[in-house]
Amino acid sequence: MSEPQDWRLFGQEKYLFGASLVRSDYARSRVVDSPWEDDHCEFCGHEFMKDNFPDVLHEGYATQNGLHWICADCFNDFAPMFCWTVSQHPASKTP
Ligand SMILES: [Zn+2]
């Protein structure tokens, strides 16, 4: 339980510590004009795709800009360490 370093950690705190994440459907919320077809979990590397391939994820936690994705397992494991907050979809943010 008190592992000093998880294999999935390699400096993500530099850009993900305290991040505000959005739980979202990958196909709908991925960056629309991004040139790539998939993303990977920032921690374990699990693949997010909008297509229906086996063993890919279709929803997870994304940063507000949609550039970084985190799978549910890693979210659960690292949320306390990274002090993430989860918000609703940015569009529904209260003024
Ligand atoms: Zn993961």
Query: How far, in Å, is the centroid of ligand 1 from the Cα of 64?
Result: 18
Q: Residue 27 to residues 1, 48, 54, 60, 61: CA-CA distances in angstroms?
A: 35, 9, 15, 11, 13
Position 38 in a domain: yes
Q: From the CA of 75, how far away is ligand 1's center (Å)? A: 7
Ligand 1 center–CA 95 separation, angstroms: 32
Q: How far is CA 90 from the centre of its chain?
A: 15
Average pLDDT over residues 76-93: 82
Encoding tokens for residue 39? 């993303």
Mean pLDDT of 33-53: 84
Ramachandran category for residue 18: left, alpha or beta (phi over 0 → left; psi -120 to 50 → alpha): left
Place of tokens 């940015």: 90
Kindly give the distance from the C-alpha atom of residue 59 to the centroid of ligand 1, in angstroms, as a whole number. Answer: 11
Range of the domain at 70: 15-88
pTM metric for this prediction? 0.80
* 54 domain-assigned: yes
| Structural domain contains residue 4 | no
Number of domains in the chain: 1
Residue 53 lies in a domain: yes
Q: Residue 37 and residue 50: Cα distance in Å, rounded?
A: 8
Q: Is residue 95 part of a domain?
A: no
Is residue 94 assigned to a domain?
no
Enumerate helices (H) and strands (E) in the chain, giving the number of each: 3, 6
| Tens digit of each residue's pLDDT (9 = 90 or more) over 10-28 | 999 999 999 999 998 887 6
pLDDT at 93: 47
